[in-house]
Amino acid sequence: MATNYTLLCIHRDPAQLGSLRENGYELVTATNSHDGLRLFASAPVDAVLLEYHLGFLDGSVIAAEIKQVRPEVPIVMLADDLELPDAALNSVDALVTKSDGAHFLWATVHFVLNVKPAQNRERRLGTQMAGHLGRSHGSATHAHHLPAKASPDPRDSPLTAKEWRSIRAGAIRF
């Protein structure tokens, strides 16, 4: 199952991420934040898998640094549990706990690399088509035939830790 995606994995024990390699992802690994940022600057990657507890700098600091340089790169945070500071998830696209297991981790990486970008493309295309159709008809009488403009979806922005905990606990459902 070839995916042709390269993941930067900043994790204390990258051997635990073998299931991603088995599912076709190429892994570039670092065991600390300094090496991870160096690899991010030098190696082309499609996404980042980032362990929260890295020692000197926690994963949220590294995620913020990565998003400043390349905000379009999806970041999946891997944590021991859901008890993280509220600001820990401000720069990440998804959160997976280690207890969720390898399949959930793979599914989350697949989602941020394939499904979410496709949804964003469809939304942008709908907005562009609405603008194009509105100009070409030049009449307000045709407005009811136009596709609705895509509005920013709050699910596309990073969620607070409290919101993630509610989702994971089943208190919030989509």
Query: Nearest to residue 75, comparing CAs of 16, 11, 22?
Result: 11
Can you spell out the DSSP letters for 69-116?
H-TTS-EEEEESSS---GGGGTT-SEEEEGGG-HHHHHHHHHIIIIIH
Q: How many residues does the chain have?
A: 174
pTM here is 0.68
pLDDT digits (tens, 9 = 90+) for 63-100: 999 999 999 999 999 998 878 887 888 899 999 998 99
Asked if CATH classification 3.40.718.10 holds for the domain at 6-117+151-169, the reply, yes or no, is no
pLDDT digits (tens, 9 = 90+) for 32-41: 999 999 999 9
Q: Where are the domains of the chain?
A: 6-117+151-169
